[in-house]
Structures are given as structure tokens and as C-alpha cells.
Amino acid sequence: MAFQSKLISISTSFLILISTIFFHFTLLSSSYMLVHHINNNNEHNSHHRRPILQANQSQCSLFMGSWVHDDSYPIYQSSSCPVIDPDFNCQMYGRPDSDYLKYRWKPANCELPRFNGLEFLEKMKGKTVMFVGDSLGRNQWESLICLTWSSVPRVATQVIRAYPLSTFKFLDYGVTLSYYKAQYLVDIDSVGGRRVLKLQDISENAQAWRDVDVFVFNTGHWWSHTGATQGWDMMESGGSLYQDMDRMVAMETAVRTWARWVDSNIDTTKTRVFFQSFSPTHYDPSEWNGGSGSTTTAKSCYGETAPVSASAFLGVYPNEMKVVDAVLREMQTPVYMLDITTLSAMRKDAHPSIYSGDTSTGQKADPNGTPDCTHWCLPGLPDTWNQLFYTALFF
């Protein structure tokens, strides 16, 4: 009986040992499969890809983090990139400070890879990237050209600026970077001398969207424009014409029209689709009171020289983004959201303000009158947007 009990004890211990080894093997195998899955970045997964994680961290909030000072920035100088529009060329038009150029986005728990223009061209060889939307898309398009060109300044290039389509080609690599102006995404037609915004028609714009490998869409700012800055005279929806309607209802109708086009026309094995979130403005200092670099008499972004911390920013989540979020959730095609809204909201210092080729001498005499607190200086914040875009594409 003693021998039998001892045998049973040994057998039990052996089974426990085998079970423990199997458990750890299974855990290790599962961990490998998880890492392998993350690294493979399934093309049909619309969630954020993972950048370089720090030690002992399992996840990264790519679009949440902080701005850190980094003297290795900017990656390029405005004087070395002739495609920058006067609207965005703050250094050329007299901006006296330069610290706003030296901030790097630091996501929570990870480090972004630094943008490498040569790697971008090699991996995108023979392909086309198209930005579609308003002038914030043009802001980002010019930034991507400058970032890439800074790595290969002697390669053959070709630029064609036209309306609504502008292109920049890196001829040695067969890479085309395009910008198509469509601030509402949907079509605007001339009917009887009036501009009609066709909320349920996108066919005319979409003719230019063929044979594109990567899209970056955006819309938002123009939906709130009124008076002289309004881009249409009438709206058409459901076969009826309207002098006006709730702007967010109109925007949702248009974005759903765009979504139907994407779901019907995009082959996800060949084409990737990104949507740039709403780019915030800085006309109301009450949104960032208490933040670093804020001036006591500020009436706009003029004179702001440093970012604001996330905790000090009091802005609300834009209604435009609520519309986009609702539509994207219902789409069949995975669309990667470049969620730059919060990180851009911290950069009250990064706008052209009065330092733009579009600002007259009279306007500069009254800097709080009509500063540009919508667009962004180049070099500047859109370079970070493209660093995030670059990370999503390749990592």
C-alpha cells in the first residue's frame, strides 16, 4: 500500500509538471500568435497599426500623448521646399519665432518612427497617393512632398498645379502625390447660373479618383461657412432644392454619399483608404486659458509661441467628427481614421496667424483682426500628421 501511494503521488506530480509545461507553452504560443498578428497588420483591420513599443508595454495610444521639445526638428527647411504655398510659408513671411518648429509628437507608451523619405519612395514605388478634400488636405499634401523631397533632393520631379487636381511626381520612383480639391467631397454643379451642392451625387469628382493606391480624404470646415465664404448657392437632396438646411444634416448626407462610393468602388486588396479627422482652429483663447505660452491679452492664435497641455485644453469634440464617426462605423470598407484632432488642438502656436503671403500690410497692422488660425505653418504640424500616416502605412 505504501508503494502504491508513492506511485500515485509520483504520477500526480508528473501530471502537474506536464500540465504546467503545456500551460506555459500554450501561453508562449498565444503570445507569439498575438505579436505575429500585430506585426502582420491584417489589411482588413481598420484599427490603428502599432508603432515601436517601449519595453514592458503592450499597447500604444497612437493619437494620445504629449508634445516634447526636440532640437533635431524640423526635418526640412521652408527655403529648401519650393512647393510650399505663401499661405503656409510662415518663415518666409516674417514669423519672428522658431520654437514652434521644434516639437515632436510623443504618443503614450511608444515612439514613432522618424519619417524617412527614401524608404517612403521605395515602398511606394509605382504607386499614387491622393489627398481629397479642402485646403487642410492641401496643407498635408505639400508637407508630404517636402518631407519626402528632403531625403532625395536631386531626384527628377514633375509638378502640375491645376484645378481641381494638382500632382507632384518623383519620376525616378514612379511615385505620384496628388491633391484633389473637393471641400464637400460631393459634387457642385452650375444650374441656371447657381452653384448647386449635390449632397447625393459624387460621380463627377470620382472620375478623378481612379487608379489610386492610397486615399486620404477630409471634409469639415466648409460646412459651417456662410455669406461670402459659402461655397454654394443651393443644396440638392432627394430631388429637391434647398436654400439651406441644418449643416450637420447636410454634411452627414454628403459623407454617406461618399461612403457608398467607397463601399461600391474600392478594392481593399489594392487600395487603402484613410480619413483625416477634423483639424481644429484657435480663434477662441478661452479654450486654452491656463496653457503654457498663452498671452493674457490674446484674442486669437496671434502671438502664441508654445503648445498647450491636453489637461489645459477646454475645447469640445467637434460635431463634424461625430458625423464622420457615425458614418465610418456603418461602412463595409475598413477606413483608417487619422485622428489628429486632439493632438492638433494642443498646437495653438502652429498657425500662420499674420505670417502668411495672403496677409496684407493693413491686416498685419491689426493682427487680431483677421489672422489665419485655421491652416498650419510649413514646416510644422502637418509634418506630424504625415509621420502618423507614414507609421500607419508601413508599421
Q: What are phi and psi of 259, to 5 degrees?
A: -60, -40
Q: For residue 15, what is the enclosing H or E element?
A: helix 2-40
Whether residue 135 contacts residue 375, with contact meaning beta carbons closer than 8 Å, is answered with: yes
Place of cell 504640424: 381
Active-site position among 48, 221, 282, 375: 375
**Catalytic position from the list 187, 349, 372, 383:** 372
User: One of 135, 237, 353, 356 is an active-site residue; which one?
Assistant: 135
With beta carbons less than 8 A apart as the criterion, state whether 374 and 347 touch. Answer: no
CA distances from 66 to 16, 52, 55, 109, 124 (A): 48, 16, 19, 11, 30
Alpha-carbon separation of residue 389 from 99, 114, 211, 393 (angstroms): 24, 12, 20, 6
Q: Is 122 left (phi over 0), alpha (psi -120 to 50) or beta?
A: alpha
Q: Is 135 a catalytic residue?
A: yes
CA distance 157 to 289: 45
Question: Known catalytic residues?
Answer: 135, 372, 375
